[in-house]
Chain A
Amino acid sequence: MNTVTITMVKQPQLFLEADLITPDQFAGKSIEAIGAIEISEGKIKYPLASFAKIEGVSGATAAETKIVLNGDLTRVKRIGQQMTAGEIIINSNVDMYTGGWMKGGKITVNGNADSFTGIAMAGGELTINGNCQNHVGSAYRGDWRGMTGGVLRVTGNVGNDIGTFMRGGTIIVGGDAFIHVHTHGEGGTIIVKGNIQARVGGQSVKGDIFVNGKIDFMMPGYKYVEDVEKDVDGVKAVYAHYVGDLGERHPEAKGQKVFTNLYLKK
């Protein structure tokens, strides 16, 4: 795998939109061609090279291309958007939409990420070694097809709307979540190892939610079934199994109603 290293040398006055920083776009391009890739600040389009130093060499295909981003990327949005393969490592905080609509490959952020991280993600691995804001692994506005695949891991805390309209894949949150976890979910798995204030699994149709900490306010629509032992992200523990949201529609399979499962660690 070949590596392209990008080091920010200049900060934008506003924010940069860098949806073309993906292995798919970099693959097979020379350093000069990568430097000419457009990033925009508001309505002005700049070549990437005007904000960053670019070194290394790209692979022939996306899968063979790794991108390492250094310097301060706090004001850079959309890195890794729609990527299908390859790898991105970001050694900084990043702004919104990191790994949005990604289909494959791997992104690691060594820092915090803002909102809409992994929005409508369909595959691949997205790891944030830090905190995220809101709408992690959520759907785009109005779309009933949210996250459909892949693994999205946040080691720190997250805000609201985690996995809204989720249909597949896994979200693992190491810390706490605020409100609205798996809202409108119709599949997939969310694991929150810390605490959640409220609204877990509201309007959720089906899927699995694991909470290791406590939930301040349970949704009334969840009903306790039994205690079960579960292996969650490699750790076995006993969980109280609830089903819900009893206020939502649910499909039937083999004559049985399928509910969302909420497992709350004992």
Chain B
Amino acid sequence: MQEVIKHVACPYCGACCDDLEVTVDDGKIIEVKNACIIGTEIYHHASREGRVGTPRRRQPDGTYKDITYEEAIDFTAKMLIKAKKPLIFGFGSTNCEGMAAAGRVAEDAGAVLDNCASICHGSSFLAIFDTGYPSCTLGEVKNRADVVIYWGSNPAHAHPRHMSRYGIFPRGFFTGKGARGRKVIVIDPRYTDTARCANQFLQVQQGHDYELFDAFRMVMHGYAADVPAIVAGVPKEKILEACDVIKAGRYVHIFFGMGLCHSDGRNHNVDIAINLVRDVNEYTKCTIMAMRGHYNIAGPGIVWAWQFGFPYCIDLTKGSVAHMNPGETSSVDLANRGEIDAFINIGTDAGAHFPIRAFEKIGGAGIPMVTIDPSVNMAATVSDVHIPVAIVGVETGGICYRMDNVPIQYRAVVKPFNGILTDEQLFDKIYERMQELKNAGIECDGTWDYATPLADVRPIKEVYQ
């Protein structure tokens, strides 16, 4: 029997569109309306052939054999207890309930807890630590903003409905003319598809956004005359012209993306952007927002801030207090430096997203590794154990935080495939098993007798071929 489930929130990008209509027939997803093409695919993925329905353990020959949840949970719990410094990384694609449960496990295990922000908008966190975050919810942009700036971000591709729902086109309460009433400025080294929607496009020299921001700030501080003729590849007239638009705006909003947080200087590109927002507020209202990638990548930062006071890169190994210092306690640095001895890849794909040399230090170094993910991703193909879980937003609900930190309540549209567990259930079971093992006298000694023997780990190049 066909059923249409409405007001479904989409588990793809940080725009968290919550107006999807999903048609389900006998537990199978038939049609998805309102979603972008990428969001649609996630729903169809749930019903696709080849889903893994049980935990799997890698065999010495590299093949995988199905194991029970009990075995997989026991392996993971033992690994967490025995390792001196296990790393739990990921959480780009799960709900906050799972993140809270993982927080409890990580604290009990004395692990390092990190999320995908570490390789994404983590540098924006560093900027927020230093400068704060004068921001707003997306509805403020929709209802008030008449000047919208996309800096180093390309929503046309990365957040397909962002411009239509929030940024450029919507007609809001004070913005009844929609796109016609908005001035759009795009700043990017490339003429992107987003730039095609802009009234003004400033082509910044790659890696020199910081200098360009400085020039904008000089204008705001009354030093327009001292701005050099060309800054970061942009002629002075264009900078002054953009500043005039900004100053004349009633409400100015800057969306920034990984163009800022992933070029040289990283956090400082963002922190100077935030300082520009402070400056602009002397003239008119101005707010800023990070274009967060995954639908709930804001979630772990929020959940762990209330649990530990830190959003990411949380070293819990001391047992007494949590410690955070990206550069040291960040996943890629830990992996690169050989500073961890066990790895859980959850709700992400470290295999695809870590720098190859960092991942080789985990996947190729005989460090025991568990992947918790609905799909068979690259990390799963080199893990000792792969535990499939329900797809959030499709097979289970929960709270997820949109890019503006607004909690969106997700819905399940079908039952979990093959009765697999949710992340929260899985982490709670791992926690229970850890208590049993600890009570039975298992303790941290850094030994690996339970892991796949080192000799049988395939070279990483072979795995990728």
B221 with A247: CB separation less than 8 A = yes
CB distance from B115 to the nearest CB of A (A): 16
A116 with B446: CB separation less than 8 A = no
CB distance from B238 to the nearest CB of A (A): 14
CB distance from B269 to the nearest CB of A (A): 10
A199 with B339: CB separation less than 8 A = no
List of A residues within 8 angstroms of B221 by Cβ:
246-249
Binary CB contact string for chain A from 123 to 154 against chain B (1 if under 8 A, 0 otherwise): 00000000000110000111010000000000
CB distance from A205 to the nearest CB of B (A): 11
Q: How far is the CA of A116 from the CA of B333 in the complex (A)?
A: 14
CB distance from A241 to the nearest CB of B (A): 15
Interface segment out of the listed B14-22, B153-161, B244-252, B320-328: B320-328
Indicate which residue in B83, B211, B326 contacts A217 across the interface (CB closer than 8 Å): B211
A223 with B337: CB separation less than 8 A = no
B84 with A14: CB separation less than 8 A = yes
List of B residues within 8 angstroms of A160 by Cβ:
265
Q: Does A208 contact B (CB under 8 A)?
A: no
List of B residues within 8 angstroms of A109 by Cβ:
none
A13 with B446: CB separation less than 8 A = yes
Interface segment out of the listed B67-75, B134-142, B222-230, B418-426: B222-230
CB distance from A118 to the nearest CB of B (A): 14
Q: Which residue of A lies closest to B317 (CB)?
A: A43
Q: Does B214 contact A (CB under 8 A)?
A: yes
Interface segment out of the listed A27-35, A56-64, A178-186, A229-237: A178-186
Indicate which residue in A41, A144, A247 contacts B217 across the interface (CB closer than 8 Å): A247
Q: How far is the CA of A103 from the CA of B346 in the complex (A)?
A: 42
Q: Which of A71-128 contact B (CB under 8 A)?
A: 77, 96, 115-116
Q: How far is the CA of A142 from the CA of B101 in the complex (A)?
A: 27
List of B residues within 8 angstroms of A198 by Cβ:
208, 210-211, 264
List of B residues within 8 angstroms of A165 by Cβ:
130
A96 with B265: CB separation less than 8 A = no
B325 with A247: CB separation less than 8 A = no
B341 with A13: CB separation less than 8 A = yes
**Main SS of chain A's interface residues?**
loop
List of B residues within 8 angstroms of A40 by Cβ:
317-318
A220 with B264: CB separation less than 8 A = no
A199 with B268: CB separation less than 8 A = yes
Indicate which residue in B130, B265, B271, B337 contacts A15 across the interface (CB closer than 8 Å): B337
A184 with B84: CB separation less than 8 A = no
Q: Which residue of B lies closest to A43 (CB)?
A: B110
B317 with A220: CB separation less than 8 A = no
Indicate which residue in B126, B208, B218, B337 contacts A247 across the interface (CB closer than 8 Å): B218
Q: Does B85 contact A (CB under 8 A)?
A: yes
B215 with A247: CB separation less than 8 A = yes
B208 with A141: CB separation less than 8 A = no
Q: Which residue of A lies closest to B340 (CB)?
A: A14
Q: How far is the CA of A14 from the CA of B318 in the complex (A)?
A: 14
Binary CB contact string for chain A from 184 to 225 against chain B (1 if under 8 A, 0 otherwise): 100000000000001100110000000000000101110100
List of B residues within 8 angstroms of A255 by Cβ:
none
Number of residues on chain B facing chain A (CB within 8 A):
46
Indicate which residue in A42, A135, A221 contacts B223 across the interface (CB closer than 8 Å): A221
B265 with A219: CB separation less than 8 A = no
List of B residues within 8 angstroms of A199 by Cβ:
210-211, 265, 268
Q: How far is the CA of A184 from the CA of B446 in the complex (A)?
A: 42
Indicate which residue in A44, A202, A223, A249 contacts B214 across the interface (CB closer than 8 Å): A202
Q: How far is the CA of A160 from the CA of B245 in the complex (A)?
A: 34
Q: Does A245 contact B (CB under 8 A)?
A: yes
CB distance from A163 to the nearest CB of B (A): 13
Indicate which residue in A140, A202, A220, A247 contacts B220 across the interface (CB closer than 8 Å): A247
CB distance from A63 to the nearest CB of B (A): 29
B84 with A221: CB separation less than 8 A = no
B84 with A203: CB separation less than 8 A = no
CB distance from B455 to the nearest CB of A (A): 18
Indicate which residue in A43, A77, A144, A248 contacts B85 across the interface (CB closer than 8 Å): A43
Q: How far is the CA of A160 from the CA of B221 in the complex (A)?
A: 27
CB distance from B88 to the nearest CB of A (A): 14
Residues A116 and B328 in contact in the complex (CB < 8 Å), given A180-B268, A220-B211, A248-B221: yes
A141 with B326: CB separation less than 8 A = yes
A43 with B444: CB separation less than 8 A = yes
B214 with A15: CB separation less than 8 A = no
Q: Which of B413-465 contact A (CB under 8 A)?
A: 444-446
Q: Which residue of B lies closest to A97 (CB)?
A: B328
List of A residues within 8 angstroms of B126 by Cβ:
141
A134 with B327: CB separation less than 8 A = yes
CB distance from A141 to the nearest CB of B (A): 5
List of B residues within 8 angstroms of A96 by Cβ:
328
Indicate which residue in A42, A203, A219 contacts B341 across the interface (CB closer than 8 Å): A42
List of A residues within 8 angstroms of B317 by Cβ:
40, 42-43
CB distance from A133 to the nearest CB of B (A): 9
Q: Does B272 contact A (CB under 8 A)?
A: yes
B327 with A115: CB separation less than 8 A = yes
List of A residues within 8 angstroms of B328 by Cβ:
77, 96, 115-116
B325 with A140: CB separation less than 8 A = yes
Q: Does B216 contact A (CB under 8 A)?
A: yes
List of B residues within 8 angstroms of A179 by Cβ:
264-265
Q: Which 3 A-B pairs have the closest CB atoms?
A: A247-B217, A42-B84, A42-B85
20 A-B residue pairs with Cβ-Cβ distance under 8 Å, sorted by A, are: A40-B317, A40-B318, A41-B84, A42-B84, A42-B110, A42-B317, A43-B110, A44-B84, A96-B328, A115-B328, A116-B325, A116-B328, A198-B210, A203-B214, A203-B268, A220-B227, A221-B214, A246-B221, A247-B220, A248-B221
